[in-house]
Amino acid sequence: MDVRKEPRWSRWALVTACALGGVLYGWALGSMGYGNSYYAAAARSMSQSWSNFFFGAFDPLGVSTVDKPPGALWVQALSVRVFGYHGWALVMPQVAEGVLAVAVLHRAVLRWAGPAAASISAVVLALTPVTVAVNRDDNPDTLLVLLLVCAAYAATRAVRGDRPRWLLAAGALVGLAFTAKMLQAWLVAPALFAAWLVVRPSWRRLWQAAAAGGVMVAVSPAWVVAVDLWPGAKPYIGGSRDGGAWDLVVGYNGLGRVLGTRDGAGTGLGNAGPSMGGDPGWDRLFNDQVAGQIGWLLPFCVTALVAAVVMAVTRGRPDAPDGDGTPDGTAPAGPVRAGWVLWGGWLALCWAVFSFAEGIFHPYYTTQLGPAVAALTGAGAVTMWRLYLRPVGAAWALLPVAVGVTALWALVLVRRTPDWLPWLTPLIATAGALGAAGLPAGRFLLGASRPRALRIAAVSVAAAAVALLAAPAAWSAAEPLNGPDGTDGVNPSAGPQTGFGGGTGPGRGVPGRGGGGRPGGWRGDGTAPGQNGPNGPGTGGGGGFRAGQPGTAGPGTAGASAGPEGTGGGPAARGGGEGLSTWGVADGTLTASQRSVLDHVTAHRDGARILLATLSATGAAPYIIATGEDVIAMGGYNATDQAVSLERLQRLVGAGDLRFVQLSGFTGQGAEDDPRLTWVRRDCTQVPLDGVSDLYRCGA
């Protein structure tokens, strides 16, 4: 529609949706901690030098980088430079980016499907549970979503105004999103370009779409090329096999995520590791781990796409609304059809990749589905309402069917955690029944008494809105009201925990419980991913990824309560285990054992340039976050990167640049056989400290 004719209530709806998102994303900002300790440590290191800033260095010395491009961390590091190093300074940019995504989505849907659809879409995105959780954390997905929504807005402007330059802008924005999460940004590109072509297919438009794709391909690897051409010394690129950024693109963050093999998947844990969202398959988005985060409105979206097809097929018939089959009665059919292709294609592409990806998969990745779910819900509601008001035909039934099926699905999801907010079940059942039954009743009265029929339909629609949005709203509100959960750093999620691990493919465990822990996916013997034990006593591990007991090799004692909510076992997380801050969640303080280690190595560093080296990044992160000292991670995130090879480690020790090594942190597959561990244990001297048995002094 012409945005100059936007009604005032639409602007107020936009303000309301943004305010709702701002409250959910930013409530109790100061109590969020530092989020994912891996990224929090990197943001502090990046704020200390412009070289670290450019590369996305994990440690203050710039020995290695994080295993992602630094786009999202650039924003956080700049915030730290301005406001100082605080947890809220890391999360505040995420809150702002999340609110901006809500606003931009509203403007994009407004141009496509009108003010009612835009208002619904903005509210739905603000209430998407996984999006609320991610926007309260420091993971890079928030910036990814914002840039992709901006790209969709640009593509909508291109389609509506037949302006190829806006399509070029869309390609550039997808390229910028590449600097947040690499190839994941490209998932939506085919939908953006298809929307341009479907309006009026021609060779000219095909070449214009190809040009936009060329812009995307040129912008995307800009940081990668700059790193590759850097003339001087540079950090080891985390997650790569050869220390280079190109390997990260096609390996660990590329084909490895989809294929789940260690070939081309980077090093260490690779991408055959734990799928924290369950087994790959068509039903992954409906399983215990994922559905409560993003799946509430998927049945409604599917019905909306059916309604779009019905509207397109019947366009121009006498019983079609406004005679042209458009949601708002003002746009030509081509741009409206393009909008369905854009958002429907976005949903289908991400759904397919996330469902069948064999590599590492976190449920929070599905926040990328949020804008498409929101847009299709808004436009679908308006389209099905117009079909409902048609004087003839059976298409009116799509709206009550969509309401009924989606409400039933909500009941299924709520019943998976019956003890959590038990009042949701009767609320959804009652409201869903009123909506699904009231709409047909209003329809049957439409011919006899239109005003009365519309009143009944309006009440039914209001009941339907309650039935469809009550549960996701409750899931979303639980995050800011209850505070971050123990797994939020590495796996942010909203609502009750219905399972953390899962997956029985290569390197994955199956869901289970370890003596009172929540469902998990990794075994608890401190070595490698595998199968959980049974409920109760045994070797099973809960999904909390509990660190090992201080000074041990990290066995996950079944039934122990060292992790969140009494979670048992976890991956190999050595020494000062509780210092991993419940595996990846940082609060900015050191545990007693970590403080003991820090005091000892500070007092006995003997002029060494590097205060401490740890096995992996999760072991180093708490020290960097709390002190900003020169602590390095030899093996990157999962302990098997060659950021500091054995030869380099020996040179650093021989030159007196390093005296202490702590074998702490999360370790992935193959780390136990690493020659660096063998050398440290054999040639270095174990330091006797209370509660710590993994600290070694190397050299004279």
Whether 35 maps to a domain, the answer reads yes
Residue 42 and residue 100 in one domain: yes
From residue 296, give the alpha-carbon distance in Å to each of 245, 300, 472: 37, 9, 7
Query: Does residue 555 or residue 621 have the better pLDDT?
Result: 621
Q: Is the pLDDT of residue 573 over 60?
A: no
Residue 432 and residue 521 in one domain: no
pLDDT bracket for residue 424 (50, 70, 90):
very high
Q: Which of 437, 487, 435, 491 is nearest to 461 (CA)?
A: 435
CA distance 378 to 328: 12
Q: What is the pLDDT of residues 88-102, one digit of tens each?
A: 999 999 999 999 999
What is the SS3 assignment for 58? coil
Mean pLDDT of 647-676: 87
Pure H helices in 314-397:
333-356, 370-388
Q: What is the pLDDT of residues 55-74, one digit of tens each?
A: 999 999 999 999 999 999 99
Residue 282 and residue 198 in one domain: yes
Residue 95 and residue 196 in one domain: yes
Helix (H) or strand (E) holding 208: helix 203-219
CA distance 695 to 595: 13
Last residue of a domain, which of 522, 544, 570? 570
Write b or e for each residue in 550-589: b if 16 or more Cβ atoms lie within 10 A of its Cβ, otherwise e: bbebbbbbbbbbbbbebbbbbbbbbbbbbbbbbbbbbbee
Number of CB atoms found within 10 A of residue 604's CB: 12
What pLDDT score does 483 carry? 59
φ/ψ of 574, rounded to 5, equals: -90, 160
What pLDDT score does 256 carry? 62
CA distance 394 to 270: 52
Whether 470 maps to a domain, the answer reads no
Residue 548 and residue 589 in one domain: no
What pLDDT score does 496 carry? 87
Helix (H) or strand (E) holding 254: none
Query: Does residue 585 or residue 3 have the better pLDDT?
Result: 3
For 145-149, 330-334, 358-362, which range has the lowest pLDDT when averaged over its residues?
330-334
Residue 104 and residue 155 in one domain: yes
pLDDT bracket for residue 391 (50, 70, 90):
confident
CA distance 484 to 290: 18
What pLDDT score does 64 carry? 95
Residue 421 and residue 326 in one domain: yes
DSSP state, residue 115:
H
Whether 462 maps to a domain, the answer reads no
What pLDDT score does 244 carry? 84
What pLDDT score does 45 carry? 97
Q: What percentage of residues in the chain have a pLDDT greater than 90? A: 62
Mean pLDDT of 327-342: 75
Q: Is the pLDDT of residue 353 over 80?
A: yes
What are the counts of helices (DSSP H) followed by strands (DSSP E) for the chain?
A: 26, 9
What pLDDT score does 232 carry? 85
Residue 142 and residue 175 in one domain: yes
Last residue of a domain, which of 522, 539, 570? 570
Residue 562 and residue 598 in one domain: no
What pLDDT score does 273 carry? 45
Q: Is the pLDDT of residue 583 over 70?
A: no
Q: Is the pLDDT of residue 269 over 80?
A: no
pLDDT bracket for residue 243 (50, 70, 90):
confident
Q: Is the pLDDT of residue 537 over 60?
A: no
Specify the pairing of strand 660-662 against strand 612-614. parallel
Residue 393 and residue 522 in one domain: no
Residue for token digits 């976005």? 346
What pTM was estimated for this model as a whole?
0.86
What pLDDT score does 585 carry? 63
Residue for token digits 């799509």? 398
Q: Is residue 277 classed exposed, middle or buried when 0-12, 13-18 and 19+ CB atoms within 10 A define those classes?
A: buried
Whether 44 maps to a domain, the answer reads yes
CA distance 313 to 54: 52
Whether 301 maps to a domain, the answer reads yes
CA distance 174 to 217: 9
What pLDDT score does 327 carry? 46
pLDDT bracket for residue 315 (50, 70, 90):
low
What pLDDT score does 332 carry? 58
> Concatenated DSSP letters for 406-463?
HHHHHHHHHHTSTTSSTTHHHHHHHHHHHHHHHHHHHHHTTTT-HHHHHHHHHHHHHH
Whether 627 maps to a domain, the answer reads yes
From residue 316, give the alpha-carbon distance in Å to each of 11, 325, 393, 437: 31, 7, 14, 30
What pLDDT score does 568 carry? 31
Residue 607 near residue 627, CB atoms below 8 Å: no
Query: Which residues, including other chains, have CB under 8 Å from residue 110's CB and lie 6 or more apart?
Result: 1, 3, 6, 10, 117, 118
pLDDT bracket for residue 581 (50, 70, 90):
very low
Q: What is the pLDDT of residues 300-310, one digit of tens each?
A: 999 999 999 99
Q: What is the pLDDT of residues 246-261, one digit of tens each?
A: 888 776 666 666 666 5
Residue 549 and residue 693 in one domain: no
pLDDT bracket for residue 276 (50, 70, 90):
confident
What pLDDT score does 561 carry? 29
What pLDDT score does 665 carry? 78
| Tally of domains in the chain | 3
Residue 610 and residue 658 in one domain: yes
What pLDDT score does 298 carry? 97
CA distance 47 to 79: 9
What is the SS3 assignment for 574? strand
What pLDDT score does 490 carry? 75
For 26-40, 130-144, 358-372, which range has the lowest pLDDT when averaged over its residues?
26-40
Q: Which two tokens stand for residue 257?
A: 């995520």
Specify the pairing of strand 665-667 against strand 572-574. antiparallel
What pLDDT score does 263 carry? 41
Tell me the average pLDDT of the chain.
Answer: 82
Q: What percentage of residues in the chain have a pLDDT greater than 70? A: 79
What is the SS3 assignment for 645? coil
Residue 514 near residue 538, CB atoms below 8 Å: yes
Whether 503 maps to a domain, the answer reads no
| Most confident range, picked from 33-37, 338-342, 537-541, 667-671 | 338-342
Q: What is the pLDDT of residues 466-512, one digit of tens each?
A: 999 999 999 999 878 775 543 456 788 898 876 544 443 333 333 33
Q: Is the pLDDT of residue 141 over 50?
A: yes
Query: Which residues, including other chains, have CB under 8 Å from residue 646's CB and lie 6 or more apart?
Result: 675, 676, 679
Q: What is the pLDDT of residues 175-189, one digit of tens each?
A: 999 999 998 999 999
What pLDDT score does 272 carry? 38
Which domain covers residue 603, as residue numbers?
584-697
Whether 395 maps to a domain, the answer reads yes
What pLDDT score does 550 carry? 31
> Concatenated DSSP letters for 141-181?
HHHHHHHHHHHHHHHHHHHHHT-HHHHHHHHHHHHHHHHHH
Q: Is the pLDDT of residue 323 over 90?
A: no
Query: Which residues, including other chains, have CB under 8 Å from residue 485's CB and lie 6 or more apart?
Result: 493, 497, 564
Residue for token digits 């079609």? 320
